[in-house]
Amino acid sequence: MRWATLERLGEGMEHDIFFSISQTPDHIGHVPSEQEMFRNFFQQLECADRLGFGVGWIAQAHLSTETQKSNTRPVVPHWQGEVGLCTDFPQLASEAFRRTSNIEIGSAVVSILASGGPIAQAERMANILMLHGLDPNEKRRLHVGFSAGRFEFMARPYGIVPRNAIEEAAWPALRGQIFLEAAEIFLRLLRGDVVNSDEVRTTVLTRDNFRSDEDWQTVQEATMEFEALEAPPEAVHIPNRYVFEDLQIVPKTFNRSLLNLVAGTHDPKAQTFVNTILPVSVFNLSITSPEVIDATHLRMKDAYHAQGGEWTRAHMPRTSFVFVNAEDGLSPEEQSQAAHKEAERALGAYWNALEGTIDPDKVNRAANNALIGNPAEVAQQMVERFHPEDRIMAWFDFFNHDSDRVCRDMEAYMNLVVPAVEERLRGGLNG
């Protein structure tokens, strides 16, 4: 059985693009209609295809962010608009492939806890791969990024909630274990296995699953009360979330060489676990520190499943906000000033929307990791901040609904920034 591997397209950095399809107010308060959002997406996708971006990564979300603000415990209480409009990645990916010729398509990311859970999601991925691979000459891969979900409220209606007092006390550490259970089911089904829940990993919580002694003690106390124990348990057994007899998904014979799997988790144990089943690469975020990135590469050199080949830096796309200004009629200095103003405006709106839901230190790192300036400045920043063999996932539509402008920025990036980066890298290598 063959699995997709990420092949080097050439020397130097590789360049992907991220599409958020986030229906949020821009700096003047304009919120495009849903129809406008999707028209903008396809315009930008087709532009990315012409320009030569490698993979178009599409964000997936579920359920109205605006509506969840009325919940008892809203996850993102300050968000304006909808965090994302793509709720059905396979359907959008199919249309994306139909409209393009060269670019590959990826999810960033599909929740395998929502929309029916891991079984339903595995069948849907098998289905699109079957249809996509009917052409024997098809080479473009489907990159399936999967995770527990962007926000918890998107999975709660699908039953991903505590079932008793023990689970209530263990949440959110338990949620990470539910993801591992779901991931095993999802991956084994895509592998072609007949799966029975009796064969799936069991969840056993210990002190190692928790950040502090206090958190673990709370779980122990809840277990003692719920199970009428006289002493704190050293381990707490959690019944499986998904219970089923033998099953196998259909279709069975889809072209697995067109599938590349990517785990949306920074948990080292999770990254290692999924690679005991199939080759699964990993994501990083714009807020990920260089130390975590280096540690991940080192770990994955050993952990990456043998069927995926040798681990390379290109297996982990480096997400980065891009605020590049190459607008006509402006001097390089004016372009730089305009780019910084645009970045400040967009990042400010984003952090206000996430107020109270994200570590302020992470906010600062994200701002510092953004690529901001005229083309020459952005090129220099890329050379300084990234490894020559990194794979960049550039994010242009960040709180920006001027689709024509987004396309011009994409053109500036590929036609001006990337050649300048390659020239600098060649100079460094030859110097």
Lowest-confidence region among 10-14, 118-122, 369-373, 408-412: 10-14
- What would the mean pLDDT of 159-163 be, rounded to a whole number? 96
pLDDT-derived band at 300, boundaries 50, 70, 90: very high
Supply the pLDDT for residue 321: 94
pTM of the model: 0.94
Average pLDDT value for residue range 341-360: 77
- Tell me the average pLDDT of the chain: 93
Would you mind telling me the total number of residues written for the chain in this entry?
431
Please state, as a whole number, how many other Cβ atoms lie within 10 Å of the Cβ of residue 319.
21
- Report pLDDT for 8: 44
The domain spans of the chain are 14-430
pLDDT in tens, 195-207: 999 999 999 999 9
| Residue 256 scores a pLDDT above 80 | yes
Of residues 187 and 73, more confidence is placed in 187
Cβ neighbours of residue 157 closer than 8 Å, sequence gap 6 or more: 63
pLDDT (0 to 100) of residue 428: 66
Least confident of 79-83, 248-252, 346-350, 355-359: 355-359
Each residue of 22-31: pLDDT tens digit? 999 988 889 9
pLDDT of residue 285: 74
Mean pLDDT in residue range 202-216: 97
* pLDDT at res. 150: 81
Does residue 2 carry a pLDDT above 70?
Answer: no
Structural fold of domain 14-430? TIM Barrel (3.20.20)
pLDDT of residue 353: 76
Q: How confident is the model over 337-364, as a mean pLDDT?
A: 77
- Asked if residue 248 has pLDDT above 90, the reply is yes
Overall average pLDDT of the 415-431 stretch: 85
Contact indicator for 99, 46 with CB cutoff of 8 Å: yes
| pLDDT higher than 90, residue 359 | no
